[in-house]
Amino acid sequence: MSLLGSAHALKRGLDSPDTMAKEQAVTDSEDAAGECERPQPTYLHQPAMLKLGEAYVLEVSAQVNLLREFTQHHGEVGRAHELLFSHLVRRFLPTSLQVGTGFIAERDGVSLQQDVLIYRSDKIAPLFQAGELVVVDAKAAAGSVEVKTTLRARALASAFLGHSRMRFYGIFAWDSAISMGALLDSIWDWARKASTSEFDNLGSAIYVRGRFLLLRNQDGSGIESPPFRLLRLDLPGSSEGEAVLGFLGQFWLWSTNGEAHAPWPPWLWDWFALGPWKRALEPIHWPDDLADKMHSRHEEIVKRRDERRDKRAP
């Protein structure tokens, strides 16, 4: 299956082995026939979009640095971080989505506050709204981002691992107090304690400005596929523009089709054709003991699928 065919399949949301198999078959046949419903990549947007993403990060970084000249008040600086990042996010989203801060109301209660809450209001109006502060129905929530001044292991454990039930959940941090190795160790430690059913609650992306972009990987390649892919921003050839487009591309990939029914813009197709997905992000594989646990999880999923199919059989 081609790279763009894989992206096309992912955009529809691959959530189960049944769906994976069906989508892959459909996508393969589309690729073979050359009739996949998508604009052909022009490759013209890519350099400009990389520069645009980098310029936006430099812009919000300059604003934060200027604010710090006037105050070191942690609460206000933190809130400024959230507002500035939400403005950056808004520039790359379909117009059918709104960006604010607030809470998600579900049947079993209300979520913790979401720093950057992405939601749709065209069909389900917010249950409460005061400026950018909203309470939205769970069906209206498209995704959320937790914004950190400094990423710490404690924040990772409480946020990225075992997050709210949304298609996209990410963390953006201006700096990190933990190394990449320590961050992965925290994820592995959580996974060793979690039940296999909780693995679906892993977050979608972690972006630490100037350091790295860690993306949850679900490319439909099956049980052997690595759980994460990594873009290191301290390596030659990597840029902040790549990280911004990669982070927001991950949102488009997992949320906009199901939540906003938004067509992908041409720059996004170009991004999947020429960005890190083309030259391959660094794969991050499960440790051996967790690989065994994932194989067991896969077997459980297949068993439940077969049981449901047997019950439906006459």
What is the Cα–Cα distance from 276 to 270, expressed in whole angstroms? Answer: 11
Least confident of 156-170, 188-202, 231-245: 156-170
DSSP-based three-state secondary structure for 98? strand
Beta strands in the chain (DSSP E): 97-106, 109-110, 114-120, 128-130, 133-137, 141-148, 169-173, 205-208, 212-216, 228-232, 282-284
pLDDT-based confidence at 207, cuts 50/70/90?
very high
What is the Cα–Cα distance from 153 to 143, expressed in whole angstroms? Answer: 22
Is pLDDT at 143 greater than 50 in this prediction? yes
pLDDT-based confidence at 117, cuts 50/70/90?
very high
Give the model's pLDDT for residue 275: 57
What is the Cα–Cα distance from 213 to 261, expressed in whole angstroms? Answer: 26
260, 266, 268, 269: CA torsion to nearest 10: 110
Mean pLDDT of 54-77: 84
pLDDT-based confidence at 21, cuts 50/70/90?
very low
Eight-class DSSP state of 215: E
pLDDT-based confidence at 123, cuts 50/70/90?
confident
Residues 6 or more apart whose CB falls under 8 angstroms from that of 189 comprise: none
Tokens of 181: 């190795």
- Side-chain-side CA neighbours of 75 within 13 Å: the count stands at 0
Give the model's pLDDT for residue 22: 35
pLDDT-based confidence at 222, cuts 50/70/90?
low
Mean pLDDT of 118-143: 91
More confident residue, 206 or 166: 206
Rounded mean pLDDT of the chain? 76
Is pLDDT at 136 greater than 90 in this prediction? yes
Give the residue from 281, 11, 32 showing the smallest Cα distance to 167.
11
DSSP-based three-state secondary structure for 11? helix
pLDDT tens figures, 238-297:
888 888 888 988 888 777 654 445 777 777 777 766 655 556 588 899 898 888 877 777
Domain extents for the chain?
A: 42-284
Give the model's pLDDT for residue 304: 76
